[in-house]
A and B are shown apart, each in its own frame.
Chain A
C-alpha cells in the first residue's frame, strides 16, 4: 500500500471515529430521549449480551440464510433467463419491453400478492427475496450476453464448437464482469428484502429481532440489530468484491 492509500484509510477511520464520538455526545447530553437513542456504549453492551446469550447468533444465522437462499436462487435463475434472452436478438426485441415495464415495479408491490398466494411462510420469503434480487442479475446478464464480441462467435463456428461449449467457454466468461456486478447489487437487495420479509412474516431473523425490540422499547437491542445488519451488508459486499477481483484477474491485465 502506498502512502496516499494509508492516508485515505486513516482519514476514513477518523471520520468513523468522530461519528461514533458525536453519537455518544448526543446520547450523553440526552438531546434525544434514551428510550429512543441509546449511546454507542449501550448498543455495544447489547450486542455483547446478545451474542453471549446466543440469541443474536441465531437471528443473524436466520437472516443470512434467507439472504443466501434468495440470492442464490436469483443468481441461478437470473443468469439462466438472462442468457436465453441475451443470446437471441429476437428474444431481446420481444421480451425487453416487458422487462422494462416490470423492472421499475417496486418489489413491495408484489409482497401482498406473494403473501396471498403463499402465506406468511419461508416459501413466501424465498419468492419475494429472489424476485427482487433477480433483476440486477438478469438485466446485467442480458447486457453481457448481447455484448459478446461477434468475432468470437465466428471463431467458435470455425472451431465447430458445440452450443454448450460456446455458452460456457465464450458467452459466460465474456459476460462475467457484467454478471458479477449485477450479483453484487443484488446482494444488497437480498439483505433488504430478507429484513422486510422477517418483519412482515415474523420469520426468525434480525428483522424480527429489530421489530420486537422496537415494540418493547429496548432501544439498545434495536440498535444492536441495526448495527449487525449494517455489518452484514458491508462484509458480504466486501467478500463479493474480493471474489470479483479474483475471478476477473484477467481484466486487471487489460487496464
Chain B
C-alpha cells in the first residue's frame, strides 16, 4: 500500500498534471494532518477522494485550493506553486448555507463571482440567467437563499463556482446534506456540466457508491496522518447511468474493494 503513493508520481506518456501534490505534508497545531502526499490530477480528470471521518479529506482539498500552504513539500497548479487561492480553482463547500451571501438574491450571489472577475455590469444579467438555467434554477433569480431548499442552495453555489469559469472544481461532500433523490439528480448534473466544460474535478465524499459512480479514479485515504491507502481506476463507460452503471459488474467489484479498504481502516 505504501508503494501506491510512488506510483502516482510520474506515469510516462501522460500529460503534465494540472494539480500536483509533491510530497506535501501539513502540520496544524503540532499535529501532522497530511503526510507526504504525492498525487497528480490530470486536466479534465474526475478524481474522487474517500476515507473515514477525520482522515484529512477536507484538509487535502484545502491544500489543493491554496487555502492552506503545505508545511513541507509542494502543491503545484499548472506547474506553478500554489501560494494563494485563485479564481481558476473554484470550491463548492459542503455547508452551502454558510457559503452563500444571505443578503443577496440568487442572481446577486452569482453576480459576486462575475464582479470579482471584472465583468462589466451590462453583460452580467444575461450571463447570470444563463448560469442559473444551467444549474436548473431558471426563474429563481430574485429569491434569497433562505427562500430556497437545500438542493437549490447547493445548485446556486455550483452556479457561482461555474461563474468563475474554473479550470478546476473542488467539491467537499457537496451533496452530503441532501436527500437521496436530490443527490442523484445533482450527481448527473455535475457529470454533464463537467463533461461539457472539460474542467478538472476533485470530489470528496463519504459515499463509496457516489465516488465510483462519478469518478475516473478513486483514492482512499488512511487516517492519522492522512495519506493515500488505495487507488482505483474506474473503467466504467460514460455517460454513466444511475441504474445500469450501478449494476455493472465492474462497479460492484470496485465497490467491494473500496468497502473492504474502508472497513480495514476503521479497525
- Closest residue of chain B to A170 (Cβ to Cβ) is B101
Number of interface residues of B (CB under 8 A): 27
Residues of A within 8 A of B116 (CB): 159-161, 165
Residues of A within 8 A of B95 (CB): 151
- Produce 1/0 per residue, B132-170, CB < 8 A to A: 000000000000101100000000000000001000000
| Assembly CA distance A159 to B117 (angstroms) | 8
- Cβ of B112 within 8 Å of any chain A Cβ, yes or no, is yes
Cross-chain contact A154 with B144 (CB below 8 angstroms):
no
- Cβ of B91 within 8 Å of any chain A Cβ, yes or no, is yes
Cross-chain contact B146 with A160 (CB below 8 angstroms):
no
| Assembly CA distance A253 to B146 (angstroms) | 6
- Cβ of B65 within 8 Å of any chain A Cβ, yes or no, is yes
Residues of B within 8 A of A152 (CB): 98-99, 101
- Produce 1/0 per residue, A32-51, CB < 8 A to B: 00000000000000000000
Cross-chain contact A158 with B89 (CB below 8 angstroms):
yes
- Produce 1/0 per residue, A218-251, CB < 8 A to B: 0000000000000000000000000000000011
Number of interface residues of A (CB under 8 A): 20
Cross-chain contact A157 with B67 (CB below 8 angstroms):
yes
Q: A158-203: which have CB < 8 Å to B?
A: 158-161, 165, 169-170, 173-174, 176
- Cβ of A25 within 8 Å of any chain B Cβ, yes or no, is no
Cross-chain contact A169 with B91 (CB below 8 angstroms):
no
- Cβ of B249 within 8 Å of any chain A Cβ, yes or no, is no
- Cβ of B85 within 8 Å of any chain A Cβ, yes or no, is yes
Residues of B within 8 A of A157 (CB): 67, 84-85
| Assembly CA distance A157 to B91 (angstroms) | 11
Shortest distance between the CB of B214 and any CB in chain A (Å): 22
Shortest distance between the CB of A181 and any CB in chain B (Å): 15
Shortest distance between the CB of B166 and any CB in chain A (Å): 9
- Cβ of B7 within 8 Å of any chain A Cβ, yes or no, is no
Residues of A within 8 A of B98 (CB): 149, 151-152
Cross-chain contact B115 with A160 (CB below 8 angstroms):
no
Residues of A within 8 A of B89 (CB): 158
- Cβ of A52 within 8 Å of any chain B Cβ, yes or no, is no
| Assembly CA distance A165 to B146 (angstroms) | 23
| Assembly CA distance A5 to B91 (angstroms) | 47
Please name 15 pairs of A and B residues whose Cβ atoms are closer than 8 Å in the assembled complex, sorted by A. Answer: A151-B99, A155-B91, A158-B65, A158-B66, A159-B87, A159-B116, A159-B117, A159-B164, A160-B87, A165-B116, A173-B104, A251-B102, A253-B146, A253-B147, A254-B146
Binding site for A on B (CB under 8 A): 65-67, 84-87, 89-91, 93, 95, 98-99, 101-104, 112-113, 115-117, 144, 146-147, 164
- A-B contacts besides A155-B99, A165-B115, A253-B146, 16 pairs, CB < 8 Å: A151-B93, A152-B98, A152-B99, A152-B101, A154-B85, A157-B67, A158-B164, A159-B87, A160-B84, A160-B85, A160-B87, A160-B116, A170-B101, A173-B101, A250-B104, A254-B146
